[in-house]
Structure 1
Amino acid sequence: MAPLFLDPGVFNRRVALDQPVVDPDGAGGGETVWQEVRELSVRIEPLSVASRERFGQREANVTHRVLCRANDIVERGLSFRLGGRRLIILSVHDPDESRRYLVCRCEEER
């Protein structure tokens, strides 16, 4: 397989990479809050929008592909924060196994 070539200029968005942290509520449960791990330059590509009716209301499920330089920090369960939007990372893979880039499939948090 030929290595993937990406122009460095495609990483044109700065996002915060956040990890979920459970803030205990004192009663055995807790609230999930997001804590910034670092900033990254990424490329965000919208993939799909699927709408459905749930409890009498229309909901939209929006997915994105996010490309970034390879690192050991990005993993499933973290999120990219772009302004007031949050993209939850569902999967991470190295598209050409060169350890240069990562492709993340994400779902926008509602």
Structure 2
Amino acid sequence: MAERAEAAIGAMRRRLVLLAPVEMPDGLGGVTRSFVTVAAFWAQVEWLGGAEHWRQGRPEQTGSYRITLRWRGDLDAGRRLRDGARLFEIRAAADPDGGRRRLICLAEEVTP
């Protein structure tokens, strides 16, 4: 297990930006959601698989990813990660061994 943890440090080569949702009243009883930058950090992005769905009569592809980074307490489902022009919506985040060393996120790539 120690070998895997050491290898993961060198694998964190992608500079990701953490985005948090901000909701503002739209004046009509609803809200407008936007995302603001919270932090930037190094992470490892791994492809898990993909799927195709039909939405409004046309095929749409989704990709699932595992994103590993150093532990931080402000990352949870509902936030997004940006890698250049790519956006990942966090579906789940967990500390695999409870040691607050690594955080593993399951994410889905989204198109803005």
Q: TM-score, normalised by structure 2?
A: 0.89
1:107 to 2:108 alignment? yes
Q: Which ranges of 4 or more aligned residues in structure 1 deviate by more than 4 Å? A: none
TM-fit CA distance, 1:51: 0.3
**Aligned residue in 2 for 1:36:** 37
Please tell me the residue identity of whatever aligns with 1:52.
H
Residue in 1 aligned with 2:61?
A: 60
Q: 1:63 to 1:56 in 2, by over 3 A?
A: same
Aligned-pair CA distance for 1:68: 0.3
Q: Does 1:46 align with 2:36?
A: no
- The CA deviation at 1:6 is 3.4
Aligned pairs, number: 109
Identity of aligned residues (%): 31
SS in 2 for 1:9: helix
What is the deviation of 1:23? Answer: 2.6
Letter in 1 for 2:78: G
Cα deviation for residue 79 of structure 1 reads: 0.9
Q: CA-atom RMSD, angstroms?
A: 1.4
Residue 71 (structure 1) aligned with residue 35 (structure 2): no
Question: In the TM superposition, what is the alpha-carbon distance from 1:52 to its structure 2 partner?
Answer: 1.8
**Equivalent position of 2:92 in the other structure:** 91
Match of 2:6 in 1: 6
Q: Distance in 2 between matches of 1:6 and 1:12?
A: 14
Counterpart of 1:25 in structure 2 is: 26
Structure 2's unaligned 5+ residue stretches are none
| SS of equivalent to 2:67 | strand
| TM-score under structure 1 length normalisation | 0.90
Deviates more, 1:3-12 or 1:24-33: 3-12
SS of 1:6 mapped into structure 2: helix
Give unpaired runs (5+ residues) of structure 1: none
Q: Deviations over 1:6-30 (max 9, x none)?
A: 3321110111100011132111112
Name the SS of the counterpart of 1:107 in structure 2.
Answer: strand
